[in-house]
Amino acid sequence: MTDGGRRLEEALKKAQTDPEARMDFYRLLLDSKVYVAGEKERKGANGGEPHTHIKQWTQRDGSLAMPFFATVGSFKETLGESESYVLIPVIDLFRMAGEATLVMTTPDGAKDFKPPEVASILASLVPKDPVSAALQKAIQNPGGRPAFYNALINAKVYVFGGNGETLEEGRTEEKHLTLANGDKLSFAAWTHPSIEGPVTPFFSSLELLNRAARQEGTHYMAFLGMDFLKMAAGLGRPLILNPGYEFNHLFSVEEVEHIIKASKMNQAVERALKPGLKVLFSQPENYPYAIVDALCDFLPDHPAVAAAYITVMREAAAEAPPILVIGFEADDEGEVVKMFSAAGELVKNHEKEGQTVDFALVRPGEEGVSRHFLENAEPFYRRKLVKTPQAPQKASSAKNEQERPEIRPGFLGRLKKIFSGRRPPSGPSLPDSDGQKTKP
């Protein structure tokens, strides 16, 4: 442990003068054990589990400080030979700190870890739930916004509120309510520095809500995301998802209404062609690069899609308008059908005015559009970009080969990622559909 402690002291010394070394210091710190003043019970009281007692010092301003050390030598040099100590993992120490300021002390100086920084470090260790993971992707890449909305409306979310009763501070308890006509729910209201008036906080996981409950100390309720949005829309005030954490998002009243409306419009409706109806398939005359690029960035997050195709379908009748059909070859058709809502929102943001776009499942051995895709078209997307033998192709003229559009999977999406730049660690935001950014 001595060598490891010295490495930690050296890492802190370097991090204090070199910003690029700070991440290495934090990683090493979280994997370390450190020495703190205190003692560990040999036996727990009344037969319970033994506890570790950590000594704290009161500072001049009345706040508490808890020093810790990377080596025994640093501990004894600072606190004396007679002071007892315990060796404890840094993560456990951070979880025990409460409102105390942790102070890492070395022969070359000290580093304070105040409660907000400790809370931020602990939050970074929380496994991301599907909604917060989708939010992070949507912040980093605008193409992930439909997937984030889809994850949100189908997941369980948590909100402070109930019927006005409160608990002892620092505790939370789920509130189970049987609502009758006329019953009302009360949601917590917080202030936000960037807007006037209150906002309603909600969380994508119970663990994130519990961390915020240190200040709130109240009941909470759990809802399906769409149900919560519909109830919250009646309040007429903004919502904020996961406030206080690195990836959070402030929803305006208009954005909430848009999500609710879009979810109704993008519900998948199964449509079958009439028996005996003759249809023609062809390559799009004006290849929809924007749609293809957006889907190539979107589909890797949906591993049930093995391949994706595109074609134009026309009924034999001259007056029938053409339909752009996107076909998905699936390992799990149920998962792909669930994806249709988010994919529909994505396509809608990139389709031309007046264009009709349909989705289809590509099934081997099935006639119609499935047979056309498998025998006459190349996929514009294939999972993991693994190069596979081409499906049998019908004979085509040299002219048709020359007119075939160049397929550029994900090209525009990759450019977006390259030039997106780094966002600040606090206050990330989702880009609006017109390219503006909504600051949380």
Question: What average pLDDT does the chain have?
Answer: 76
- Residue 440 pLDDT more than 60? no
Q: What average pLDDT does range 38-51 have in this prediction?
A: 66
Establish if 427 belongs to a structural domain: no
pLDDT band at 343 (very low <50, low <70, confident <90, very high): confident
Q: What average pLDDT does range 418-437 have in this prediction?
A: 39
Establish if 429 belongs to a structural domain: no
Q: Is residue 257 domain-shared with residue 292, that is, in the same domain?
A: no
Establish if 325 belongs to a structural domain: yes
Tokens of 125: 């260790």
Establish if 440 belongs to a structural domain: no
Establish if 437 belongs to a structural domain: no
For every residue of the chain, which 3-state class applies, written as one string? CHHHHHHHHHHHHHHCCCHHHHHHHHHHHHCCEEEEEEEECCCCHHHCCCCEEECCEECCCCCEEEEEECCHHHHHHHHCCCCCEEEEEHHHHHHHCCCCEEEEEECCEEEEECHHHHHHHHHHCCCCCHHHHHHHHHHHCHHHHHHHHHHHHHCEEEEEEECCCECCCCCCCECCCCCCCCCCCEECCEECCCCCCEEEEEECCHHHHHHHHHHHCECEEEEEHHHHHHHHHCCCCCEEECCCCCCCEEECHHHHHHHHHHHHHCCCCCCCCCCCCCEEEECCCCCCHHHHHHHHHHHHHCCCEEEEEEEEEEECCCCCCCEEEEEEEECCHHHHHHHHHHHHHHHHCCCCCCCCEEEEEECCCCCCHHHHHHHHCCCCEEHHHCCCCCCCCCCCCHHHHHHCCCCCCCHHHHHHHHHCCCCCCCCCCCECCCCCECCC
Q: Is residue 120 domain-shared with residue 49, that is, in the same domain?
A: yes
Phi, psi of 9 (to 5 degrees): -65, -40
- Residue 150 pLDDT more than 70? yes
CA pair distance 302, 290, nearest whole angstrom: 19
**Residue 354 is part of which domain span?**
279-409
- Residue 284 pLDDT more than 60? yes
Residue 158 is part of a domain; what is its CATH number?
3.40.1350.90
Neighbours of 305 (CB within 10 A): 23
pLDDT given at position 409:
40
- Residue 232 pLDDT more than 90? no
Establish if 419 belongs to a structural domain: no
- Residue 75 pLDDT more than 90? yes
Taking the whole predicted model, whether its pTM rises above 0.85 is answered as no
pLDDT given at position 54:
87
Domain boundary among 199, 231, 265: 265
Residue 339 is part of a domain; what is its CATH number?
3.30.300
Angle, vertex CA 93, rays to CA 92 and CA 98, nearest 5: 110
- Residue 102 pLDDT more than 90? yes
Evaluate whether 294 touches 346 at the Cβ level (below 8 Å): yes
pLDDT given at position 46:
56
Identity of the amino acid at 329: E
pLDDT given at position 83:
92
pLDDT given at position 171:
41
Give the tens place of pLDDT for each residue, 344-395: 878 877 877 767 888 889 998 888 888 889 988 889 999 874 444 444 444 3
Q: Is residue 258 domain-shared with residue 302, that is, in the same domain?
A: no
